[in-house]
Structure formats: C-alpha cells, structure tokens
C-alpha cells in the first residue's frame, strides 16, 4: 500500500512538473508572438521610410558641387591663361600694334593650316571686331586692375567653396544614411534575438523540469521493483522484518540520489 502511494505521488509530481514546464514554454512562445506583433508596425513604417529615402537623391548638393566646380575651373583657367599671357608678352616685349597684328596674322595662318581655309576665311572679316573687343577688354582691365584681380580670385574662391561644400554635403548625407542603416540593423537584430532568447529560455526550463521528472520516474520504477522483489522474497519465506529493513534502506538511498 505504501509503495503504491509512493508511486502515485511520484507520478503526480511528474505530471505537475511536466505541466509547469509546458506552461513556461507556452508563456515564452506567447511573449515571443507578442514581441513579433509589436515589431510589425514599426518595421512596416521603417520600411516605408527607408524606401522613400532610398528613392531620394541629394541632387541639390550634387548640383551645387558641379556648378561650383565649373565656376572654379573657369576662373582658374582665366587666371592661369592671363598670367601666362602676361609673362609671355612681357618676355617678348610686344608693345606695338604692328607686332600684335603680326602675331594675329601668324595665328590666322596657323588656324588656316589646322582647321581649313574655309573656316579661317570666314573668321578673317571678324578680326577687326575681335581686335576691338579685345582692346576694350584690355583697356578696362588696365583701368580696373584691382577689381579684375578681385573678381577672378573671388570667383575661383567661390567656386572652390561651393565645390567643397557640395562634396561635404554629399558625404554627410551618405554618412547619416549609413549610420541610420547600421542603427536599424542593430535594432532589428536585437528585436529578433529577444524572442529567440525567450524561446530558448522556455525550452531550457522545460528540459530542466522534464529532467527532474525523469529522475523521479526512475526512482519510482526502482522502488516498484524493490517492492515486487520484497513481496516475492516474503512469499519465498524470507523474514519479513529483514525484507522491510532492506526496502526502507533502499528507498532512503534512492531518495538521496534523486534529490
């Protein structure tokens, strides 16, 4: 009778531990589902935002950069060619109109040789006009040397500033988008790992409870076997007190091992 009661207690404990383990697993799965449901809305909103940002291009910064680059190149080229022309003219001492005309004639002949007599011939009637324009520009520059230098150097500086500013804007925009993507990735990984850890923790608790229940089951089976052996021993004529003492000692040992 005592053995049956012990076996019943063992199985009842095992059943309670098993239900407790399943409950913990179910709680972990429920928490995981809740976290996933909570994650859907921000993920959807985040995906829409990232999709919109991916379709956008910082055209304003690119436009400023290339416009500034063009300004920089134009004024830098003017400054460079003007300086080279100044050195050339001063080195060769071309100060008379006759020498200028000779230079222009030589340039015209080279132009005819290079691109054909038809184009050069069409340009010949425009030489006086071009000379007049160049003379007026030269006079204005000589009368406003400081202003001319300021305009050229200021234009080159403005173009450089706009070019560098556009590049910096593109770099900062790209860096910001990269930082946002990294932050989003880390958050997504964390949100997916938390439910996974909850599931793993629930499975671990269930295994622990199942392990305890398994030990109880093994102990109960051994006790049942010992009880059956004791019954057969008594039926075979063994002393009842001796058999009872052996069984009691075995139960104590089994309980100590299981615990």
- The structure's pTM equals 0.32
Place of tokens 């429920």: 30
Q: Are 26 and 229 in contact (CB under 8 A)?
A: no
Domain range summary for the chain, segments of one domain joined by +? 2-43+198-258, 59-180
Q: From the CB of residue 97, how many other CB atoms can be counted at a distance below 10 Å?
A: 10
In this predicted structure, the answer to whether residue 208 has a pLDDT above a threshold of 60 is: no
pLDDT at 195 (0 to 100): 59
Residues 49-64: what's their mean pLDDT?
59
Percent of the chain exceeding pLDDT 70 equals 20
In this predicted structure, the answer to whether residue 106 has a pLDDT above a threshold of 70 is: no
Express each pLDDT in 127-143 by its tens digit. 677 777 777 777 777 78
pLDDT at 97 (0 to 100): 47
- Average pLDDT value over all residues in the chain: 63
In this predicted structure, the answer to whether residue 215 has a pLDDT above a threshold of 60 is: no
Q: From the CB of residue 8, how many other CB atoms can be counted at a distance below 10 Å?
A: 11
Reported confidence tier of residue 177, pLDDT bands at 50, 70, 90: low
pLDDT at 209 (0 to 100): 54
Dist CA 35 CA 39 (whole Å): 6
Residues 105-134: what's their mean pLDDT?
63
Dihedral angle sign, alpha carbons of residues 74, 77, 79, 81: negative
In this predicted structure, the answer to whether residue 72 has a pLDDT above a threshold of 70 is: yes
In this predicted structure, the answer to whether residue 259 has a pLDDT above a threshold of 60 is: no
Say which residue, 184 or 136, is predicted with more confidence: 136
């Amino acid at each position: 009778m005592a053995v049956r009661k012990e076996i019943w207690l063992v199985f009842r404990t095992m059943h309670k531990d098993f239900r407790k383990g399943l409950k913990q697993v179910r709680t972990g799965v429920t928490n995981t589902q809740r976290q996933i449901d909570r994650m859907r809305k921000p993920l959807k909103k985040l995906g829409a935002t990232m999709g919109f940002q991916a379709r956008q291009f910082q055209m304003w910064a690119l436009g400023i950069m290339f416009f500034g680059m063009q300004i920089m190149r134009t004024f830098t080229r003017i400054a460079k060619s003007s300086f080279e022309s100044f050195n050339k003219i001063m080195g060769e001492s071309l100060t008379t109109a006759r020498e200028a005309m000779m230079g222009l004639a030589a340039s015209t002949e080279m132009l005819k040789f290079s691109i054909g007599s038809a184009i050069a011939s069409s340009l010949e009637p425009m030489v006086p006009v071009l000379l007049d324009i160049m003379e007026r520009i030269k006079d204005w520059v000589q009368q406003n040397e400081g202003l001319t230098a300021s305009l050229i150097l200021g234009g080159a500086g403005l173009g450089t500033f706009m070019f560098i500013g556009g590049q910096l804007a593109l770099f900062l925009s790209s860096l910001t988008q990269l930082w946002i993507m990294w932050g989003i990735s880390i958050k997504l990984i964390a949100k997916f790992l938390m439910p996974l850890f909850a599931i793993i923790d629930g499975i671990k608790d269930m295994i622990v409870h199942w392990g305890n229940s398994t030990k109880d089951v093994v102990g109960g089976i051994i006790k049942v076997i010992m009880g059956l052996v004791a019954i057969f021993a008594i039926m075979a004529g063994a002393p009842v007190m001796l058999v009872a003492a052996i069984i009691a000692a075995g139960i104590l040992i089994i309980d100590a091992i299981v615990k």
